Amino acid sequence: MDGTAKELARDGSKPAIPVNRVPLRGIAATVAQKLAEILHPDNPIVHVTVYSVPSHFTLPSTFAITAWQGLLHCHIVEGGDQRRLLMYWRDRETATLVAPEAARHLHLPEPDWTGASIRALFTKRRLRPRSIGDAVVWLAAVVGAWAGLSAAWLALFASPEVSYVPPDTAEANVISGAETPIRIALINQSLSVPAKVHVVSARIVGARGQARANAPGLYQIDPNGRAEAVVTAVAEGPGKANLELVFAAKAGRWTPSPSSTTLTIPLKIWERFERGTFAVVNAGSKRCFVEAPLRLGEATSGLKCQAWTVAQGDVEFVAAMPSADSSWVSNRTASVQGKETASILWTVPTSQPFTATPVRLVLAGASIERIGCPMLAASVQWECDRTR
């Protein structure tokens, strides 16, 4: 393209009016002017160029219609497995000079078709344009005005569209007495209006404890954006409780009052490690299998455990599971009162936090048939300590 053509291509002295770029000031004058141009008998006939583009093609955000002299409008149409870009020019001469330069700028192939639109007919005679191009310009002005007014209205009076998403699990795990961060996703579902969200209050319900919102506590969220609120909870357990949060959200600048939302998050409170009582899970004439839960709020690299029972005839412990090295030490000792104590020592393997591990012990002896497994299970005591 020669210098004159390039200068013409980039000349913005007669800017077109792209959709969604019509300023609010002078909208009425702009629409009236374009309507007059459409009805003017000497309006030029619009020229169209059509390009086949890949399925992923979109117009870049940096592409400005006003930068290309004579370009009135462009849009992408899709049907079946085909996508095409249509560009509308004010006249054939301008399209001949400018369209190739615009195509190179957008990395387009040769046009599939180019030609003039002769006439478009509408139902109302007084609004019948003499060309599609003038109709496009007029429509752009109207749509732009509507879009501008809608955006202005939303900016002033829009209601907030915020979703509050708690942690992924059905209930949040906390360790009794420990500070635990609880994360809540704040999602602004509006595509056009930002939102302000404030954590009004945070409290523990159903157990002793307290909660507080971490800084900043006030979040500015862009349209279609998200933020993360963090609340530190401290609850005393074990047991269950709720973390109750109150949020206030505001969108439009002149919205009368913020929208308030209460979010309740169930909490499961764990001790750092807690031992349950043994119960019979299987019984025979000379053997008893008893089991108790070992609940762990913290991860461990192993627990050294010991179980014992006093004065139960010839009964002794013969196995403990799970065991870190599949081994255990069992013995019988006599106290100063002459009563024998049967005991077993073993190591529970490494465990993940917030898990309950069933611990199973096996007792054997001829006296089991006389004593009974339920009584033996009730007599077993145990304790655990960290290995390091």
Confidence grade of residue 139 (pLDDT, cut at 50, 70, 90): low
Q: Identify whether 322 is preceded by a cis peptide bond (ω within 30 of 0).
A: yes
Cβ proximity of 133 and 90 under 8 Å: yes
* Number of other residues whose CB lies within 10 A of the CB of residue 266: 15
What local confidence, expressed as pLDDT, does residue 6 receive?
47
Instruction: Give the residue with greater pLDDT, 226 vs 333.
Output: 226
What local confidence, expressed as pLDDT, does residue 7 receive?
47
Low-confidence winner among 48-52, 123-127, 152-156, 232-236 (lowest mean pLDDT): 123-127
Please check whether residues 253 and 236 belong to one and the same domain.
yes
Average pLDDT, whole number, for the chain?
Answer: 79
List the CATH number of the domain containing 335: 2.60.40.1510
Please check whether residues 55 and 80 belong to one and the same domain.
yes
DSSP-based helix, strand, coil % in the chain, nearest 5: 20, 40, 40
Phi and psi torsions of 149, nearest 5°: -65, -40
Please check whether residues 119 and 139 belong to one and the same domain.
yes
Please check whether residues 152 and 197 belong to one and the same domain.
no
Looking at 156, 189, 213, the residue that finishes a domain is 156
State which H helix or E strand residue 134 sits in.
Answer: helix 132-157
What local confidence, expressed as pLDDT, does residue 276 receive?
92
What percent of the chain has pLDDT above 70? 74
What local confidence, expressed as pLDDT, does residue 252 receive?
66
Q: What average pLDDT does range 51-60 have in this prediction?
A: 86
Please check whether residues 57 and 174 belong to one and the same domain.
no
Cβ proximity of 348 and 301 under 8 Å: no
Cβ proximity of 366 and 299 under 8 Å: no
Residue 28 pLDDT greater than 70, yes or no:
no
Instruction: Give the residue with greater pLDDT, 237 vs 297.
Output: 297
Distance between CA 363 and CA 342 in Å, rounded?
10
What local confidence, expressed as pLDDT, does residue 284 receive?
84
Residue 181 pLDDT greater than 50, yes or no:
yes
Distance between CA 151 and CA 73 in Å, rounded?
22
Confidence grade of residue 1 (pLDDT, cut at 50, 70, 90): very low
Distance between CA 278 and CA 294 in Å, rounded?
10
Distance between CA 279 and CA 274 in Å, rounded?
16
Residue 3 pLDDT greater than 70, yes or no:
no
What local confidence, expressed as pLDDT, does residue 152 receive?
54
Distance between CA 75 and CA 116 in Å, rounded?
17
Token couple for 231: 């609340």
327-367 confidence digits (pLDDT tens): 788 887 766 566 788 999 999 888 888 999 999 999 999 98
Please check whether residues 13 and 31 belong to one and the same domain.
yes
SS3 356: strand
Instruction: Give the residue with greater pLDDT, 135 vs 260.
Output: 260
Q: What is the DSSP letter of 350?
A: P
Q: What average pLDDT does range 164-174 have in this prediction?
A: 84
Q: Which of 191, 188, 267 has the alpha carbon at shortest distance from 225?
A: 188
Please check whether residues 74 and 122 belong to one and the same domain.
yes
Distance between CA 93 and CA 34 in Å, rounded?
22
Cβ proximity of 341 and 354 under 8 Å: no
Confidence grade of residue 132 (pLDDT, cut at 50, 70, 90): low
State how far the alpha carbon of 116 is from the alpha carbons of 95, 113, 191, 385, in Å.
10, 10, 38, 88
Cβ proximity of 307 and 317 under 8 Å: yes
Confidence grade of residue 238 (pLDDT, cut at 50, 70, 90): confident
- In whole angstroms, what separates CA 350 from the centre of its chain? 33
Residue 47 pLDDT greater than 60, yes or no:
yes
Please check whether residues 239 and 352 belong to one and the same domain.
no
What local confidence, expressed as pLDDT, does residue 388 receive?
63
Token couple for 111: 């046009």
Distance between CA 365 and CA 6 in Å, rounded?
103
List the CATH number of the domain containing 204: 2.60.40.10
State which H helix or E strand residue 292 sits in.
Answer: strand 287-296
Q: What average pLDDT does range 314-322 have in this prediction?
A: 91
State how far the alpha carbon of 2 is from the alpha carbons of 66, 100, 109, 279, 356, in Å.
20, 12, 20, 94, 79
Residue 84 pLDDT greater than 60, yes or no:
yes
Looking at 209, 241, 270, the residue that finishes a domain is 270
Domain count of the fold of the chain:
3
Phi and psi torsions of 58, nearest 5°: -140, 155
Residue 9 pLDDT greater than 60, yes or no:
no
Please check whether residues 120 and 229 belong to one and the same domain.
no
What local confidence, expressed as pLDDT, does residue 131 receive?
58
Domain span at residue 369 reads: 273-386
What local confidence, expressed as pLDDT, does residue 38 receive?
44
Please check whether residues 173 and 135 belong to one and the same domain.
no
What local confidence, expressed as pLDDT, does residue 229 receive?
93
Buried b (16+ CB within 10 A) or exposed e, 127-142: eebbbbbbbbbbebbb
Highest mean pLDDT among 80-84, 282-286, 303-307: 303-307
* Number of other residues whose CB lies within 10 A of the CB of residue 29: 9
Looking at 156, 185, 209, the residue that finishes a domain is 156
Please check whether residues 122 and 229 belong to one and the same domain.
no
Residue 306 pLDDT greater than 90, yes or no:
yes
Distance between CA 202 and CA 241 in Å, rounded?
13
Q: What average pLDDT does range 47-76 have in this prediction?
A: 85
Instruction: Give the residue with greater pLDDT, 246 vs 170.
Output: 246
Please check whether residues 17 and 120 belong to one and the same domain.
yes
Confidence grade of residue 305 (pLDDT, cut at 50, 70, 90): very high
